[in-house]
Structure 1
Amino acid sequence: MIDARMSSTAASATLRQQIGQGFELLRQDRMEDAARLSESLLAAHTRDPQVLLFASEVRLAGGDAETALGLIDAAIGVMRGEVALLLKKARILLQLRRRAEARQVAAEAAALAGDDGRALWSIGKIYGGCNDPARARELYEQALAVGCGSPDLLYDLATAQFFTGDFAGAEKSLGALPTDSPAIGHALYLRSTLRRQTDVRNHVDDLQARLTAGFPDATRRAACLYALAKELEDLGHADRSFTVLTEAAALKRRTLRYDAAAERTAIDGIRATYTAEAMRAEIPGHGEEGAIFIVGMPRTGTTLVERLLGRHGEVASAGELPDYGQALAAAAHERLSAHPGKTMVEASLLLDFAALGRDYMRSAREAAPGSRMFIDKMPINFMYCGLIRRALPKARIIHLVRDPMDSCYAVYKTLFNQAYHFSYDLAELGAYYITYHRLMRHWHAVMPDAILDVRYEDLVTDTEGQARRLLAWCGLDWRPEVLSPAKSDAPSTTASAAQVREPVYTSSVGKWRRYEAGLRPLADQLMRAGISTGRT
């Protein structure tokens, strides 16, 4: 009996060692070796939860999320009530854009988490991924209350407070963040964006002192510089602000591995492929109504339009969804495997667009449950206007247009979170804007009257008139509450969460001219491309 127990213990130790080796293979990106080991372990240990977890990670790394989900479900069947496994399942469900199920699993995990602060924090992140920053905030606060002291938790809490309109709470949370936190750079920038800084209340001295003391990496220093540039702009120090901003952008750009030309080429490829002839092809789409896409360059007033429409009782915001691009990419990859000689864009012409539309609507509605109509405010969906029209012929597409120089300056001065890499170099920004401008002209040409252009300048000077126009375009009746004070707004999960809760203002119109000397090369670049730098 003793020998049997010793043998069992040794076998268990060997198995754990093999699993550890398997995870190391994944870290080394040795996918074939990891896959062979997972198959071997699964054959011998079909009900071991750690083996099932490892096998799930292998499938996930290989892009097979559905099989990975099945393996996690098998592990949960063996070890019911294991919060870590439930969290893993919820993350996979989010990857599959199955938000309703992810919420259910997150709720189950929350009921089991007790006073495990890290688990509560992780559950909060699941709700954040489900476009529910209010519930995420509750869980972050619970995690802090039970003693989870991670600095990154404070930053996540501040972000949720920012999205839900508690700017004072966000500033307090950010103030408690240690100076050596990995999130400190973005925390300083978020702190600066929470409100307009004034002569009697600002962080300029603090930011300058931090820059003098130094940061351990370029990413954190760049974020601090962005914060300083923003506060100097608020205080009216235009020249100093632009000098700091130029340094910040150049430093940020050096931290990125980004092929600007390749991205522009891909966008041009869409324009070349989706010709007028291609758009005339009789291809059935998914006839469901309810989707409202707001597209354009970032920082052009898309969030303001989202706020106006979202105050209508029949419309809810789903936030900036990656869903259409993800669903499109997955479907095109399947077609590409059957037609390897084609490009991704060419393969997309062969899609079952009705199936693509159904897939998108399923996941998008789960981000705004219970509403007849929903808003998808992902700006870069401008690339897919023609493909959206094919997949969802009854979707409403709204395109925000802003003075090109105001648009580019607003993008250039913003520190984005892992997005819009073209924005950190003026020449790359100009080239991207030209590419975007050409594509939007193309969409209007090949599908006339399918897209409503809304000018930012008209939106802020004639808000009611534009609101009526927007509602009519979406087939909605006029309701004066769409103009009601911003304090009634639901959470906003965008960089504009602070601005959209202020009254509509016109001070950003023509703002680029304060920085005209520094922005002149960009203006010349746009003019050479035939794009007027005045209002067009």
Structure 2
Amino acid sequence: MPPRQSTDKTLGRARQAARAGDWITAQALYQTILDRFPGNRPARQGLEALRPAALPDLLKAAQAAQSAGRWAEAARGLATAAALAPDLPEVGLALAACELEMGRAPAALRAAETVLERAPEHPGALNVKGRALREMGRVAEAEASLQAALGLAGAEARTLDNLGLLARARGDRAAAEGYFRRAVAQAPENAALHRNLAHAITYTEAEPHLAQMRACLARIGAGDPGAAPLHFALFKALDDLDRRDEAFAHLEAGNRLTRAALGYDFQTDAVPYAVSKALFQAPLPAPERTEGGAGPRPIFVTGLPRTGTTLTERILSRAEGVQPCGELTVVQVAVGRLLREVMARETKALSETDLGALGDEIRAGLAEYSGGRPVLVDKMPLNFRWIGYICAALPEARIVHLNRDPVAVAWSLWRHSFAGAGNGFAYDPADIARFMVLHRDLMAHWRGVCPGRIFDLDYAELVADPEGATRALAAAAGLDWTEDWLAPERGTGAVLTASSDQVRRPIYRGSDEGWRRYEAQLAPLSSALSAAGLI
């Protein structure tokens, strides 16, 4: 048992932090004492005294951080607030929402379950739990949680929407349509619900939803930022009906409104790329080992979004012992933390200690998604930004990088409304072209820094020669190839991305030509790609 003096010093530091209004530090220090000595009365009294003063400040600061998109900062404050006020479910749910925004589903699940321990039928907590479980691939548990929330007051439309998203993720389009229609009936002014329903319907002239969307758009206002999801939904509906000019006008409006709302700035987005190039200049040594290590062996499927990363994950998941995990933020969060530390130092350099800690953090984060399987696939496309970090910190990792026709990729990016702000470049042709150049140049850099570690998979070759391409993929990924690799559509895992419908069809040709239906309208996009030297 540590000497009493140590506890007294910790109490003193906690009281000093409280007097300074450093609520996060004060709470952590008091809790450290109670974790070791649950009966320590001064620490317990100190925590109780913190709540009245700290809680309003913490919640106000967290709200400001959330409004500015500083989710990690908001989560730190909310975690402290939730510890001080476990009886307030709205605090725990706000924390869970922050964790989901950052893609940290296991943390969101823990926050929701903490709320449910006190309020087992809280509809908001059941919804968050269902969403977190869905993101973790635990589909049956997710559905059970959402079904438990169904019918509870105050969450009907949200629950139906989440059930629809879950049904779509597991490939049950009819069930998804049913849930989304019920959700729209409950909340007809919710533009995002209309967008979700639009992607579950193949429109005909007799489909009433088109008129419902037009009426909703008239009420909201075509130029209102909140109308952006409706414009994307109307594009989908009118594209199905082959009304191309009208469809394209809505697509332009949806992109314009979304870009304005996000306030995307390419120069800001480019900074980490320049920093990474400066930190990784010399080629990395060949890894001492390619298998084993603590936790599951990861395969990272990277590239620009909409290049076939979901299909590739689906193919890899046909191998025995492989857990498909979708698009995880584990690497992004870990590397972001490391970069902030490095940039705060006088000497901007990475040490072996840095890379060792980075590897441990990534492995621990990935293990929460592996389901106990020995191999997992993280198909976050934008992990291409961090390939050097991955190779340096995880010698056992395999890297797959997708290449695809630039025009097809650019068109697919521009026609999609993405969840979150991570793909902010996708809503303007000039930004798309600039980002594609950034991607091309960084990949050339990583190939020099990580020789022999990156397997480039060409989408056109994959669909033209599935067997040859998948055999090469298996060898690069360190997996055993079987004929199952040729039938990814038979996979049973949930698919949470915009490609959920496509990957449930057999591997097919022709998807790279879809942009030609709008060739005339896409002249600005083609010009931007041509000016950038991409086509």
Pick the aligned partner of 2:504 from 501, 505, 521. 501
Shift of 1:122: 3.5
Q: Tell me the residue number matched to 2:233.
A: 227
- Which has the higher mean CA deviation after the structures are superposed, 488-497 or 383-392? 488-497
Contact 1:56/1:68 (CA < 8 Å) preserved in 2? Answer: no
Cα distance change, pair 440–336 in 1 and its aligned pair in 2 (3 A): closer
How many equivalent pairs are there? 492
1:422 lines up with 2:425 in the alignment: yes
Overall identity of the aligned pairs, in %: 29
User: How far apart, in 2, do the equivalents of 1:234 and 1:256 lie?
Assistant: 28
Cα distance change, pair 324–285 in 1 and its aligned pair in 2 (3 A): farther
SS at match of 1:258: coil
User: How far apart, in 1, do the equivalents of 2:431 and 2:144 lie?
Assistant: 41
Q: Tell me the residue number matched to 2:133.
A: 127
User: How far apart, in 2, do the equivalents of 1:115 and 1:49 lie?
Assistant: 30
User: How far apart, in 1, do the equivalents of 2:318 and 2:284 lie?
Assistant: 34
Contact 1:311/1:489 (CA < 8 Å) preserved in 2? Answer: no
Contact 1:38/1:51 (CA < 8 Å) preserved in 2? Answer: no
1:48 lines up with 2:48 in the alignment: yes
Q: Tell me the residue number matched to 2:388.
A: 386
1:357 lines up with 2:344 in the alignment: no
Contact 1:90/1:126 (CA < 8 Å) preserved in 2? Answer: no
User: How far apart, in 2, do the equivalents of 1:177 and 1:68 lie?
Assistant: 30
User: How far apart, in 1, do the equivalents of 2:508 and 2:25 lie?
Assistant: 59
1:152 lines up with 2:153 in the alignment: no
Q: Tell me the residue number matched to 1:471.
A: 474
Q: Tell me the residue number matched to 2:525.
A: 522
User: How far apart, in 2, do the equivalents of 1:101 and 1:185 lie?
Assistant: 29
The one-letter code of the counterpart of 1:51 is R
Matches within 5 A, 1:158-197: 158-178=164-184, 181=187, 184-197=190-203
Shift of 1:274: 2.3
Cα distance change, pair 57–198 in 1 and its aligned pair in 2 (3 A): same
Q: Tell me the residue number matched to 1:35.
A: 22
In the superposition, the TM-score normalised over structure 2's length comes to: 0.79
SS at match of 2:455: strand
User: How far apart, in 1, do the equivalents of 2:223 and 2:482 lie?
Assistant: 51
Q: Tell me the residue number matched to 2:35.
A: none
1:328 lines up with 2:335 in the alignment: yes
1:431 lines up with 2:434 in the alignment: yes
Q: Which runs of 5+ in 2 are unaligned?
A: 1-17, 31-42, 66-71
Q: Tell me the residue number matched to 1:136.
A: 142
SS at match of 1:489: coil
Contact 1:303/1:377 (CA < 8 Å) preserved in 2? Answer: yes
The one-letter code of the counterpart of 2:463 is V
User: How far apart, in 2, do the equivalents of 1:448 and 1:385 lie?
Assistant: 12
Contact 1:304/1:500 (CA < 8 Å) preserved in 2? Answer: yes
Render the CA deviation track for 1:293-313: whole Å, top value 9, x for unaligned. 011111111000111111222
Pick the aligned partner of 1:368 from 351, 367, 370. 370
Cα distance change, pair 465–218 in 1 and its aligned pair in 2 (3 A): farther
In the superposition, the TM-score normalised over structure 1's length comes to: 0.79
User: How far apart, in 1, do the equivalents of 2:145 and 2:49 lie?
Assistant: 27
Contact 2:488/2:506 (CA < 8 Å) preserved in 1? Answer: yes
Contact 2:204/2:241 (CA < 8 Å) preserved in 1? Answer: yes
Q: Tell me the residue number matched to 2:403.
A: 401
Shift of 1:529: 3.1
Render the CA deviation track for 1:188-228: whole Å, top value 9, x for unaligned. 22212225445565843433333334449723322111111
Cα distance change, pair 355–214 in 1 and its aligned pair in 2 (3 A): closer
Shift of 1:101: 7.5
Contact 1:69/1:93 (CA < 8 Å) preserved in 2? Answer: no
The one-letter code of the counterpart of 2:218 is T
Q: Tell me the residue number matched to 1:291.
A: 298
The one-letter code of the counterpart of 1:524 is S
User: How far apart, in 2, do the equivalents of 1:329 and 1:485 lie?
Assistant: 33
Cα distance change, pair 363–55 in 1 and its aligned pair in 2 (3 A): farther
Cα distance change, pair 32–336 in 1 and its aligned pair in 2 (3 A): farther
Cα distance change, pair 166–46 in 1 and its aligned pair in 2 (3 A): farther
Pairwise CA RMSD = 4.0
Shift of 1:333: 2.4
Q: Tell me the residue number matched to 2:251.
A: 245
Shift of 1:98: 8.1
The one-letter code of the counterpart of 1:48 is E
User: How far apart, in 2, do the equivalents of 1:143 and 1:335 lie?
Assistant: 44
User: How far apart, in 1, do the equivalents of 2:232 and 2:103 lie?
Assistant: 33
Contact 2:283/2:449 (CA < 8 Å) preserved in 1? Answer: no
Cα distance change, pair 132–49 in 1 and its aligned pair in 2 (3 A): farther
Shift of 1:130: 3.9
User: How far apart, in 2, do the equivalents of 1:236 and 1:367 lie?
Assistant: 41
SS at match of 1:291: strand
Shift of 1:414: 0.2
Contact 1:284/1:353 (CA < 8 Å) preserved in 2? Answer: no
Contact 2:96/2:108 (CA < 8 Å) preserved in 1? Answer: yes
The one-letter code of the counterpart of 1:509 is D
